[in-house]
C-alpha cells in the first residue's frame, strides 16, 4: 500500500519557507528536491515560485498556507516545531523518507557519484572505501560514514 503511494509522490518538488530550513536539509538527504527561498522573498514571492515551478510549499504559517490555497498553489502546512514530528507529518503525507543521495543538503544541487573515498586525501581512514558523491552546483562532498549511518537510522525510525 505504501509503495504505490510513494510512486505517486516521487517526483513532487518542494519549496521550504525560512522556518523550515532544517527540515529541508533532511528532506534532501531523502533525495527530495527542496528549494530554498531566494534572499528577501516575501510570502507573495513564495506563492509565485510555488506556482511557476510547480512546487509544494512547506510552511508552518497558517496564513501563508491559506493564501497559497486561495492562489491555487500546492501547500503542506507543517504543525510541529519538533524535527522528528515534522518528518512524521511528511511521512504521513506520503513523502518518501528513505536515505537517498541525490540532492545536496545545502544548496539542493544534484549529486553525482565520483568514486570511492581512497581517492580523497582528507577523509578519515575509517571511512575508506565508501561511496563518494559531489554536488554539481557547490562542490560539497558527501560520503557514507558514521554521520551517514546516524541519518539513515533516524529516517528509518521515521518510517516505522
Ligand atoms: Zn550543493
The residue written with cell numbers 521550504 in the block is 16
d(CA 115, CA 131): 6
Ligand 1 centroid from CA 109, angstroms: 5
Ligand 1 centroid from CA 100, angstroms: 15
The whole-number average pLDDT for the span 1-27 is 71
* Tens-digit pLDDT profile for residues 103-144: 999 999 999 988 776 555 555 555 666 778 899 999 998 877
CA 102 to chain centre: 10
Supply 137's cell numbers. Answer: 552546483
- pLDDT of the residue at 2: 38
d(CA 147, CA 6): 26
CA 124 to chain centre: 26
Ligand 1 centroid from CA 103, angstroms: 8
CA dihedral sign, ordered 105, 106, 111, 113: negative
pTM over 0.85, yes/no: no
Ligand 1 centroid from CA 73, angstroms: 27
Q: How confident is the model at residue 149 (pLDDT cuts 50, 70, 90)?
A: confident
41 has a pLDDT exceeding 70: yes
The whole-number average pLDDT for the span 67-82 is 94
Q: Which one has a higher pLDDT value, 82 or 152?
A: 82
Ligand 1 centroid from CA 23, angstroms: 16
Specify the pairing of strand 55-59 against strand 111-116.
unpaired
* Tens-digit pLDDT profile for residues 51-66: 999 999 999 999 999 9
Ligand 1 centroid from CA 99, angstroms: 17
Q: Percentage of residues in the chain with pLDDT exceeding 90? A: 52
For the chain, list the domains and their CATH numbers. Answer: 2-92 (3.40.50), 111-158 (no CATH)
CA distances from 123 to 112, 135, 140, 146 (A): 18, 17, 13, 12
- pLDDT of the residue at 11: 59
- Average pLDDT in the chain: 83
Amino acid at each position: 500500500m505504501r509503495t504505490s503511494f510513494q510512486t505517486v509522490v516521487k517526483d513532487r518538488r518542494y519549496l521550504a519557507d525560512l522556518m523550515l530550513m532544517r527540515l529541508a536539509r533532511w528532506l534532501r538527504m531523502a533525495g527530495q528536491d527542496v528549494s530554498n527561498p531566494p534572499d528577501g522573498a516575501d510570502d507573495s514571492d513564495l506563492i509565485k515560485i510555488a506556482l511557476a515551478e510547480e512546487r509544494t510549499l512547506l510552511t508552518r504559517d497558517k496564513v501563508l498556507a491559506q493564501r497559497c490555497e486561495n492562489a491555487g498553489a500546492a501547500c503542506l502546512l507543517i504543525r510541529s516545531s519538533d524535527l522528528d514530528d515534522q518528518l512524521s507529518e511528511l511521512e504521513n503525507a506520503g513523502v518518501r523518507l528513505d536515505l537517498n543521495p541525490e540532492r545536496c543538503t545545502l544548496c539542493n544541487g544534484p549529486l553525482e557519484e565520483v568514486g570511492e573515498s581512497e581517492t580523497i586525501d582528507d577523509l578519515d581512514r575509517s571511512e575508506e572505501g565508501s561511496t563518494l558523491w559531489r554536488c554539481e552546483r557547490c562542490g560539497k562532498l558527501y560520503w557514507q560514514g558514521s554521520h551517514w549511518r546516524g541519518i539513515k537510522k533516524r529516517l528509518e525510525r521515521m518510517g516505522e
